[in-house]
Structure formats: structure tokens, C-alpha cells
Amino acid sequence: MKKLWLLLPLALATTPVLAQSCALTGTIKGIGAKPIIFRYVQQGKLHRDTVRAVNDRFAYTAKPSDDGKIALIVSNPFRYFWNEPGKLTVTGDMAQPSQLTVVGTPENNLLNQLQHDIEWKFAQARKAQPTATDQLNEQEQQATRQFIKSYPGSRTAADALYQQTFVNEKPLAEYDQLLKGLTPAVRQSVQGQQATKRLLVLQHQPGVGRPVPAFSIADTAGTPHALATYQNQYVLLDFWGHWCGPCLHAQYSNKLAIIGIAMEDASDAALWKQAIRKYEVPGLQLSELQQAAGPVISGYNVTAFPTYMLLDRRGVLVLRTNDIAEVEQKLLTIADL
């Protein structure tokens, strides 16, 4: 299973150009003269600026970004910062490139606090105590929720709330209270709107025992297909992508209708079609060609691949899983299949 991490959403809403610039100066030990990439979205388009360090030092003036965030990339995973008016200081070591300190403005100071006191602290604890991972994960989530509650007037808190809904979907009531606790201005920010939409998705996503929302998606030839066409049949929705490959096999195709829904971008259409031929993927193959932003992928809350949803003859969800073995076991229990 591959997880779709959405820790740096590409927001489409725009924010006003800042009157005062956000200027960074930094020293990263061991980077030498390597390039540093700054990635951001401006007017819906992804941009990358590259600067080169000189003797471990660099300077950069941030460009306006749609969501107010910019990724600072020296390796993977990367570090992001807020494009906030003022002077920022970046320090760190290439021995730990994901743990760069960025301070100097209110939101960046808060983000640095969140990362140092919670995210990095618990990451180190998990390395030291691998058998206590579940317990430490729960403690980190509780600490993050307390951070959000403590700083209701910050975009950092709203962004942390949005990210938490991907880490753990269960405490919906608590998430709702945290969202309501944010100041009106923060709720109206890009991050506040993302958190609001995300909670709506979680509240209305397909659940076992309920009919799934109807959809119509195009196949490889551009012909739309409606889920309603398969009424009175058992249907297996297989969410996958050319980059992870399918796990289904042809023996299922004579038992139920298989509908593959691929998480692809329009630019990957050729690779998607090639993967279908290469793996001889069974069933009807569809894609919204909008990556994770497609109404079905996002509305059905599909964030891991593969994801399987088994529907009965009435279109009611009877099983949701990432494990094909669970699908096989469920099929054995269905008498009228």
C-alpha cells in the first residue's frame, strides 16, 4: 500500500501580494555550494526558484505564493516556511536536512515551535523506542491538538489541524471544536478553508452500511461511465495509479463488476494507459485526470493506494480496505454472488 501524503497542499486560492518582502539569510553546515530549491504555487502554477549556497551560506527573497507557504528543499523530506513580511534566519546541518530552523516572524516562530517541540521530538522518540510507536503517535497527536487549541489566531494552527485529519480521521468531534475555536480571520485563510473542506469530506465520505455517492467518470477513450449503470450488481471499486500498479487479478471479473479508478494527472494519461496494457488490468478503467483533486478521489477520501470499496447490489458499501486479501475473504461470505 502506498500512502498519499498531502503535507504540502497546492492551494488554488490567492492571497494579496505582500507590501514588505520576506527575506531569508541562511547558513546550512555542509551544504557547500549545492543548489537550494524554493518551491511555491503562484496563480495556480507551480514555480521553482534555485539559489546556490556559497561556503554554506545563502540568501533569498521569497515570491508571493497562493497559500502563503514555500518549500525549502535541500533534500527529501523538505522543510516549508511561511511567506511572511520580515527577515528570516535559516540554520541547520546537512546531517539533518529536514530539521532546518527558520525563525524571525510570528508564524514562522510558531511553526518552528511546533516542529521542534512536537514533530521532531516524537520522531526522535520513535527511533529510540520502536516498540512504543503506537503510544508515541497518540501522544504526538494529543500534543498537536493542544497546540492548535493554544494558538487559535495562527495559520500554523489551522494548517496543523488540516494535516491532523490525514494522520488520524477518528476524533471528528474534537476536530470540529478546534475548527470552531479558530479566530474568524484564520478560518477564512487558505489553511482554515482547507481544514473546513477536509472535515466536510470526513463527515460525508462513504461509510459501511450507506450508499456511496453517484459518479460519472471518463474511460481511456474519454467516454463517461456512470456508477448507476451497475445497479443490481456487486461492484468492486479499485482505486490505484500507474505509479503503484494494480493488485487485482482476472479471476474476480466473472464474479462482480470491477471498476478501476486511477489517481492520475492529465499529463500522465499515456502512462496510465500503458500500465493498463502492461498489467492486463481487468474491468472498466476510469480516471478523473485531476490527481487527488478529483471529486471522487477527494470526496470518497481516498488517500492510500490501493483502496478497495465493495458495493452490494443496492450500491451500499459493505467493505472498505487496502488489503486485497480482505476483499477475497469477504467475497467468500456472499451467498448470492
Taking only the tens place, the pLDDT of each residue in 34-77 is 999 999 999 999 999 999 999 999 999 999 999 999 999 999 88
CATH topology for 216-332 is Glutaredoxin (3.40.30)
Strand partners, 45: 42
The full set of domain ranges for the chain reads 1-103, 105-204, 216-332
* Predicted pLDDT at 202: 96
Q: Which residues contact 140 (CB under 8 A, 6 or more apart)?
A: 118, 119, 122
Q: Which residues contact 249 (CB under 8 A, 6 or more apart)?
A: 282
Q: How far apart are CA 140 and CA 120, in angstroms?
A: 10
**Do 1-103 and 216-332 show the same overall fold?**
no
* Predicted pLDDT at 270: 97
Task: Flag residues of the chain having pLDDT under 50.
Answer: 5-18
Asked: is 1-103 a CATH 1.10.1060 domain? The reply is: no
> The sheet that has 35-42: what strands, in order across it?
45-52, 35-42, 69-73, 79-82
Reduced 3-state DSSP string for the chain: CEECCCCCCCCCCCCCCCCCCEEEEEEEECCCCCEEEEEEEECCEEEEEEEECECCEEEEECCCCCCCEEEEECCCCCEEEECCCEEEEEEEECCCCCCCEEECCHHHHHHHHHHHHHHHHHHHHHHHCHHHHHHHHHHHHHHHHHHHHHCCCCHHHHHHHHHHHHHCCCCHHHHHHHHHHCCHHHHCCHHHHHHHHHHHHHHHCCCCCCECCCCEEEECCCCEEEHHHHCCCCEEEEEECCCCCCCCCHHHCCCCEEEEEECCEHHHHHHHHHHHHHHCCCCEEEECCEHHHCHHHHHCCCCEECEEEEECCCCEEEEEECCHHHHHHHHHCCCCC
* Predicted pLDDT at 255: 79
Strand partners, 51: 36
pTM of the model: 0.86
